[in-house]
Structure 1
């Protein structure tokens, strides 16, 4: 793949999308603590966003902070995050006029050290700052909702009934550019293996945490003869 420099940011052809290999560090995203856990690698950010579908949206409403969990989806190329909710949601109605912080976190395990002070968590986390754009064009909203749905369950958009005009009018969809982000990743064992506490008769290590899908549970009111579609198997 060919690479070039564009205004100080490395750009790489990934399929037909031009995706930055790294992203800039800003005053908001500069890592002040545990800098060794920080990453400016765009692939790390993409992997964190791709692995999840629930984010926490931080926004200030009437002078008070509010953090709202909501579902998100990433656009092809990874340069836009879509998130949605009811048009009655204050956080969504007001967020297009203000800077928000969208956070996605994955917990990979508990780090159990020899001392309580050194305990920690293995995790992957991304924070994206920006002012989201409220999507009002019906065709653009449908395309964004399709991307969000396919991010959550690939194949479901074409399988299930798609939104009608009334449902579209009741749904707020926002698009947030993935331009200013902060990524942190912690992996590995405790940090006290070579310190004074290493000689303590205390077990130390990592208790991994993995999220897996369970068996499909059919709706009790499902009509007879409707099988599980291939894309959900």
Structure 2
């Protein structure tokens, strides 16, 4: 597996603030706490990756996973966005959890409770077969722990057709909102309900593949 090199300041509990990672709008909601950032990344399955391709902005949603101070993504080797990043284009990765709708007494103060992370950096290709296999395992294990030992692993052609990119967690910021709506003082006397409508992601009962092998019906994993 390709060596993972941590940024120099990993001993610090917070990430260094850079000009482009400093949160300007709503700075009270900003955080550069390393543990908080890790939690937001690990709790999510999908991130959005943006860069510039042929002079135009481009973005894709994709699965991700974290190893220490690096976040990884993968996709088709010929994907134009991944190829552009592999050639040196800087990328921006965004992750967001919606935790609730904040219903205020005025239209202006309606909002959302959320946890988000923004990461800037250049991707590094995992180009050796052993590293690709290991990251295939890490990806599958994030989807469902224990799954890797039950399935066929990728063959050489599948690994060749897949690009894995890693990004150092160095230029990072988080932003979080929690709690009640914040209304103007004079609006608290209005005759209208206000509060938070919680939002959660809930996994449902697994549905069998229509071509499931006899004897495996109803044996879908539901560990989340």
TM over 0.5: yes
The equivalent of 1:58 in structure 2 is 50
How far off its partner does 1:226 sit? 2.2
The equivalent of 1:188 in structure 2 is 179
- Partner-residue secondary structure (3-state), 2:142: helix
Distance 2:221 2:50 in 1: 37
Q: Which of 142, 146, 165 is equivalent to 1:174?
A: 165
Superposition pairs for residues 81-120 of structure 1, below 5 Å?
A: 81-96=71-86, 97-120=88-111
Number of equivalent positions:
216
Given the two structures, how large is their TM-score scaled by the length of structure 1?
0.88
How far off its partner does 1:74 sit? 1.1
Given the two structures, how large is their TM-score scaled by the length of structure 2?
0.91
Distance 1:62 1:196 in 2: 52
Distance 2:223 2:212 in 1: 16
The equivalent of 1:71 in structure 2 is 63
Distance 1:119 1:136 in 2: 47
How far off its partner does 1:32 sit? 0.5
Distance 2:194 2:169 in 1: 38
Aligned: 1:215 with 2:217: no
The equivalent of 1:16 in structure 2 is none
How far off its partner does 1:98 sit? 1.2
Distance 2:83 2:63 in 1: 16
- Partner-residue secondary structure (3-state), 2:65: strand
How far off its partner does 1:231 sit? 7.5
C-alpha distance 10-171 of structure 1, shift in aligned 2 (>3 A): closer
CA contact (8 A) 1:111 1:189 kept: yes
CA contact (8 A) 1:128 1:182 kept: yes
RCO greater where, 1 or 2, for CA within 8 Å and sep 6 or more?
Answer: 2
Q: Which of 131, 145, 149 is equivalent to 2:140?
A: 149
RMSD: 1.8
C-alpha distance 229-161 of structure 1, shift in aligned 2 (>3 A): same
Runs of 4 or more, structure 1, over 2 Å off, are 226-233
Structure 2: stretches of 5+ with no match in the other structure: 1-6
